A and B are shown apart, each in its own frame.
Chain A
Amino acid sequence: EDKVVQSPLSLVVHEGDTVTLNCSYEVTNFRSLLWYKQEKKAPTFLFMLTSSGIEKKSGRLSSILDKKELFSILNITATQTGDSAVYLCAVHGSGNTGKLIFGQGTTLQVKP
């Protein structure tokens, strides 16, 4: 059965800290891994990763994929209170239906 597991489930840090969020997966016919940020409503897209070892970067956020070890990490440097959110990892698996398998999410709280 396809599975995506995120860790930690929750995290509390102070502004300026650096955090690393983890996502491991077991999926038949892996196609891509996606990271989303969810504040109060709809998840918003952050990154899509398809190739191992190539870092995607956007401001203070970066992500990388390891297809051999079947995991990805999302790094946030110099955290701000606005980074407080649930971070979701999802994987596209087999078939052409575009179904995403989501992890449980990591709840990040950044304190001032």
Chain B
Amino acid sequence: SQTIHQWPATLVQPVGSPLSLECTVEGTSNPNLYWYRQAAGRGLQLLFYSVGIGQISSEVPQNLSASRPQDRQFILSSKKLLLSDSGFYLCASGDHRSYNEQFFGPGTRLTVL
């Protein structure tokens, strides 16, 4: 079965500072990868997805970017954080039979002050 690793687990950053969140996947190859954000008391909002190395699609206009430098590595970045970037960030992996379940990492709780 798949294992999704995310780090760091928690992060407190000042407004205007850069961000890099990393996600790595074990137990599968060539997965579809996803970044979600969850605001307090809300559902999951899809931010980015990737169907292969170097292929990134953005779902919502925002202050963030994503990259996929290796098959099982997915990175979420920002050059300058905003207060509104605070939230719980989840990385997920799914296979290419696109109607199956996605597996989630443990998440990163980001607080921007």
Contact = CB atoms under 8 A, between A and B. Distances in A.
A1 to B, nearest CB: 12
A63 interface: no
Interface of B: 4, 32, 34, 36, 41-46, 49, 51, 57, 59, 90, 94-96, 98-107
12 contacts: A31-B98, A32-B99, A45-B103, A48-B100, A96-B96, A97-B49, A98-B95, A100-B34, A102-B36, A102-B45, A103-B43, A104-B42
Interface of A: 4, 6, 31-32, 34, 41-45, 48, 50, 88, 90, 92, 95-105, 107
B43 A92 contact: no
Given A42-B90, A105-B43, A32 B100 contact: yes
A42 B105 contact: yes
Contacts of A31: 98-99
Nearest to B109: A41
Contacts of B101: 34, 45, 48
B46 A100 contact: yes
Given A88-B44, A92-B98, 16 more contacts: A42-B107, A43-B90, A44-B104, A45-B103, A48-B100, A48-B101, A96-B96, A96-B98, A98-B32, A98-B49, A98-B96, A98-B99, A99-B34, A100-B44, A100-B102, A104-B42
A103 B36 CA distance: 13
Contacts, number: 71
A43 B98 contact: no
Given A42-B107, A97-B51, A102-B43, A92 B57 contact: no
Contacts of B44: 43, 88, 90, 100, 102
Given A98-B32, A98-B94, A50 B99 contact: yes
B49 A99 contact: yes
Contacts of B107: 41-42
